[in-house]
Chains A and B, each alone.
Chain A
Amino acid sequence: MHHAYIDKFAYQDSPIHRLDSRVKFIVVFVFTAVVISLPRTSLSIVVCYAVGPFTILVLGGIPLRFAFKHILLVSPFVLVLALSCPLYDKTPFTVAFGPFLWQSSLGWVRCFTILGKFVVTMLALIALVSTTRFNDLLAGLQRLGVPKLLVIQLGFLYRYIFVLIDRAHHILRARAGRTLRSLGFKAELKIAGAMLGSLLIRSIDTAERINIAMQGRGFDGRWRSISKLQIRRTDLLFALMAASFMLGLYIFVRPVLQ
């Protein structure tokens, strides 16, 4: 089965792809923290911050359509949160974007700021995952001091989530092939429970077999790897440019736009 892999562009070659995974991770982490910490009414500055991930996506040769498609997939959760803002906060508010001014309510401004922050931080995350091979990202996280156990768990998650999705598809298809009429909500719920149970038991079986495969190859609880990460001048230059961009917007542009 073919999945829409989130990392399908990670194997390309571009100046962004060649950057050290640790540097990219730290930049995206700080960028996300900065954008999230912006006041809830600073939509204009959030829009300015979008330039960063857009530039990385373009330089990395990642189609914007691909990025927005993945943002749409996870947007329902944030949409619920954002769209509830105009309902409970109707305080009049003047929106300013440079020389342009218009009247709205605080709820709507908060709604668009939440959506803006979500889109911008997601773009940064997609830029990171789409320009970094997952194993390099894991090696980078390990070198940055993230607990090994967590890194191993992430590695297994990445490796087996597709296997699990395949299995779930197979179960759903087998069920659809034998469903000739609607059985009613209660019966459907019972079947869904049985399907989830089957998926869980198969996952436990798989975990046991993976344990056998690991022990068969001498695994004794210690995780060993050959890491070939190396920070070069271009990585430092990228970090410097990213820091200048984030600080420049925060110090010089934010007071003007707010």
Chain B
Amino acid sequence: MAKAIEIEDFSYGYPDGTSALSNITLSVEHGQKVVLIGPNGAGKSTLLLAMAGFVKGTGKVLIEGLQINRKNLKKIRTTIGSCLENPDDQLFMPRLFDDVAFGPLNMGLEAEQVKLRVADALQTVGLTELADKAPHHLSAGQKRAAAIATILSMAPKIITLDEPDGSLDPRNRNNLIKLLGSLPQTLIIATCDMNFAAVLADRAVLLDKGRIIADGDAKKIMSDSKLMTEHGLEVPSVRSPKDHKMK
């Protein structure tokens, strides 16, 4: 069986010549929860965009064995769902229901199937009651959950999330951790918050200046204070979801 994600020697530079990603080689198994950690500007968001075929560089990116190219793009985007950093960019429809239905409708599903998918996705994130609300009437936590629902309704096998914990209060952050922890999909999460990363991930990939510095067991990497400090990060003060709740 093909791996969920396989990246071989991938490099990408911005139009002004600045290198964003250099010789990235990474493979992710199905069901893994991987955090991409690193300081601001390390290339985490660009790597997530590359995984969904939004940036084209040199090297290979394979999603479930399919190489990203124009021919495979439609199939790939039903396999990998990308949740952007700002939920306001993700929620562009005038009503939450239509936003969650947007993906399934573009997949060519029948109206009844779309309604079922939307109902399931909204129930998973706990927003069933708000289906008819306009996104600008939602709170920050609700927007974040809604943005995840827009991806879940497409039933992707892989989900990428860019800084999903940004500007969330502790209660909403705990709810998000619970939600992400309960998802069976392969998760790739980019974050600068080490406590958030520590409670969610099995595996951590440390990026800095567009290169992979370390890749392995999340606890092991994130407890290496020398490595973390060298790359502008900190050792998390929590190790498990239980600890995180107590904090």
Contact = CB atoms under 8 A, between A and B. Distances in A.
A217 B77 contact: yes
A7 B137 CA distance: 11
Contact of A206 (B82, B89, B111): B89
A220 B74 CA distance: 9
Interface in B74-96: 74, 77-78, 81-82, 84, 86, 88-95
Main secondary structure of the interface of B (DSSP, over half): helix
A224 B105 contact: yes
B103 interface: yes
Contacts of B137: 5
Contact of B132 (A133, A209, A213, A217): A133
B96 to A, nearest CB: 10
Contact of B77 (A11, A158, A216): A216
B142 to A, nearest CB: 15
A30 interface: no
A159 B105 contact: no
B107 interface: yes
Nearest to A219: B106
Size category of the A interface is 20 to 34
A209 B86 contact: yes
A209 B89 contact: yes
A8 to B, nearest CB: 9
Interface residues of B, number: 37
Contacts of B92: 156, 159-160, 210, 213-214
B94 A226 contact: no
A225 interface: yes
Contact of A218 (B84, B95, B103, B136): B103
Interface in B41-84: 49, 52, 54, 74, 77-78, 81-82, 84
A55 interface: no
Interface string A180-224: 000000000000000000000000001001101111111110001
B102 A217 contact: yes
B103 A217 contact: yes
Nearest to A214: B92
A57 B133 CA distance: 22
A133 B102 CA distance: 18
Contacts of B95: 133-135
Interface string B98-110: 1001110111000
A138 B94 contact: yes
B244 interface: no
B186 interface: no
B106 A225 contact: no
Contacts of B77: 215-218
B49 A212 contact: yes
B135 A159 contact: yes
A214 B93 CA distance: 10
Contacts of A210: 89, 92
Given A213-B84, A216-B54, A217-B103, A225 B98 contact: yes
Interface of A: 3, 5, 7, 11, 133-135, 138, 155-156, 158-160, 162-163, 206, 209-210, 212-220, 224-226
Given A159-B136, A213-B92, A219-B106, 13 more contacts: A133-B132, A135-B93, A138-B94, A158-B94, A158-B134, A159-B92, A160-B88, A163-B88, A209-B89, A210-B92, A212-B49, A214-B102, A218-B103
18 contacts: A11-B133, A135-B94, A135-B98, A135-B134, A138-B94, A158-B94, A159-B136, A162-B136, A163-B88, A206-B89, A210-B92, A212-B54, A213-B89, A214-B92, A215-B77, A218-B103, A218-B154, A226-B105
Interface of B: 49, 52, 54, 74, 77-78, 81-82, 84, 86, 88-95, 98, 101-103, 105-107, 111, 114-115, 132-137, 150-151, 154
